[in-house]
Amino acid sequence: MNPSILVSGCTKGIGLAIVNIFSANGFNVAGCARNSSELKLLHTNLTQSYPNQAFFFESCDVSNTASLKQFAQKAIHTFKSIEVLVNNAGVFMPGTIIDEPENALEIQFQTNVASAYYLCQIIGKNMLEAGRGHIFNICSTASITAYTNGGSYCISKYAMLGLNQVLRQELKDKNIKVTALLPGATLTDSWQGTELPDERFIPANDIAKLVYHAYTLSPQTNVEEILVRPIKGDIG
């Protein structure tokens, strides 16, 4: 039986790169994103490329807790056991705490933190039943370094790293690994329209490779945090 991975925010950037590398290594994949047409295209491409694997994708706004929980339960029903969870979905709303638009904090916390919290709850229980698993939380260098115009986004990413650290302590004796990825500027749609050259960014595939290699380490080894920046440092 193929192992299974669940990835939130699976159709673009880091999420898509992770889906591709795990698919290429024999995984069944469950994933969610908001754009249904992109999900259908991804399902078609993966099914054609990997006919001996199974794929389940569903349109879901991860900030809607009820819909997110339904998606997670459907993924468990489809694959029975989820071996890898990647909390990747997120939103960035630039601004300062003093001048941010109303609800900026709530929107980014619900999308960036609460979605990961609830997926960790549901999929984590499934992993406990199976006696194994690996949870990856895609944080950011904004999880450890505040920057101008980061506002509530930085706050949410600090919280995401805190969630990762708490979860690590809770699961370290349960044979479930927990890893935080803290990437700097990565070449994704978030940087569309920038005049900076591609060479100034981390390729999304590099982040996916780090996730996969951390997963493949021996059972007695847990990589707690991976901090990665562009070769020339953060963009600021």
Q: What is the pLDDT of residues 115-167, one digit of tens each?
A: 999 999 999 999 999 999 999 999 999 999 998 899 999 999 999 999 999 99
Specify the range with the lowest mean pLDDT, choosing from 61-65, 72-76, 100-104, 195-199.
195-199
* 158-179 average pLDDT score: 98
Whose CA is closest to 205, among 15, 45, 30?
Answer: 15
- The one-letter amino acid code at 145 reads T
Q: Can you give the pLDDT at residue 133?
A: 98
Q: Can you give the pLDDT at residue 130?
A: 97
Burial of 67 (0-12, 13-18, 19+ CB in 10 A): middle
Q: What is the pLDDT of residues 201-225, one digit of tens each?
A: 899 999 999 999 999 999 999 999 9
Q: Can you give the pLDDT at residue 187?
A: 63
Structure tokens belonging to residue 72 = 């997670």
Residue by residue, DSSP assigns 131-179 as: T-EEEEEE--GGGT---TT-HHHHHHHHHHHHHHHHHHHHHTTTTEEEE
The answer to whether the beta carbons of residues 185 and 191 sit under 8 Å apart is yes
Distance CA 141, CA 189 (A): 18
**Longest CA pairwise span in the chain (Å):** 53
User: Residue 87 phi/psi, 5° resolution?
Assistant: -85, 95
Q: With bands split at pLDDT 50, 70 and 90, how would you rate the model's confidence at 231? A: confident
**In the predicted structure, residue 193 carries a pLDDT above the cut 60:** no
Q: In sequence order, what E strands does the chain have?
A: 4-8, 28-33, 55-59, 84-87, 133-138, 176-183, 225-228
Q: Mind listing the domains of the chain with CATH numbers? A: 4-228 (3.40.50.720)
Distance CA 195, CA 110 (A): 31
Q: Can you give the pLDDT at residue 195?
A: 65
- What pairing do the DSSP bridges indicate for beta strands 28-33 and 4-8? parallel
Structure tokens belonging to residue 53 = 């694997």
